[in-house]
Amino acid sequence: MTIFSFCPVYFENDLYSRLQSALSPELSLLLCVLFSIVIPYLLGSLNFGIILSRVFFHEDIRNYGSGNAGATNMLRTYGKGFAALTLACDMLKAALAVLVGALLLNPRAGAPIDGIALASLFVILGHCFPCFYKFKGGKGVATFAMVILITRPIVFLLLLFAFVVIVAGTKFISLGSIICALLFPVFSHSLYTGPDTGWFNLAAVAIALLVVFMHRENIKRLLAGKESKLSFSKKEKIEIKKDAEKK
């Protein structure tokens, strides 16, 4: 079950099904797979941490704090308001990307490949390695969370509970994100089974590995006891590059 399951039709007539009346099945599949990869990747490449920091502060968030372009670094550098806006925008683009995948290739409509699985993976990949910003983006946690909410709502609730408990107990957002990423494919495979879940469960493993990989520096700091803890009390605008871009 996905969020789309509550829609009356659940996209039973995807673009792949419609294209076959005009094109060969092979070409129809190729085009839909290509669009399910490229469009979500481009949406993911719209990194709102970078966009907001440039528009409102004429700076690049990647030059401050952890050097990451995600909501956590926005919180530490520019405060709760801009962190919340970054989080909301990054989650919205994930929702749009997954919707694109569902409209293009839907196993319930007979598609041999799951467009939702492709879109989920590539919107996160685009966020982490955005083509518009020299392939240096965020860690994919906000987009990752939205993908789970839409595609695996039961898993989302379980992971949200785990995340809150871990962060409340340790004050380490990174630790909560890493553990939830590792639990994601386990819960997805355990709770969602069926002939149309194979592609997504495979993508879930790739997404988990990607999110953990993007936290590799956090893992080093956690092991060394140097990781920053969550704090809402103050902003810490610490520049990490001497050659900060002048916008």
8-state DSSP, 239: B
Q: Hey, what are 110's tokens?
A: 């007979």
List, for residues 172-215, the tens digit of each pLDDT value: 989 999 999 999 999 999 998 877 788 999 999 999 999 999 99
- The pLDDT tens digits of the residues spanning 1-34 come to 555 554 434 556 677 877 877 888 889 899 999 9
Contact 45, 132 (CB under 8 A): yes
pLDDT surpassing 70 at residue 236 = no
Tens of pLDDT along 75-121?
888 888 999 999 999 899 999 999 999 889 888 777 888 999 999 99
- Measure the CA angle with vertex 68, ends 65 and 73; round to 5°: 55
The mean per-residue pLDDT over the stretch 65-79 comes to 83
The beta strand positions in 62-140, using DSSP E, are: none
pTM for the predicted model, two decimal places: 0.84
pLDDT of residue 115: 92
195: left (phi over 0), alpha (psi -120 to 50) or beta: alpha
Mean pLDDT of 152-166: 95
pLDDT band at 166 (very low <50, low <70, confident <90, very high): very high
C-alpha distances out from residue 170 to 10, 211, 220, 227, 230, Å: 40, 20, 16, 11, 9
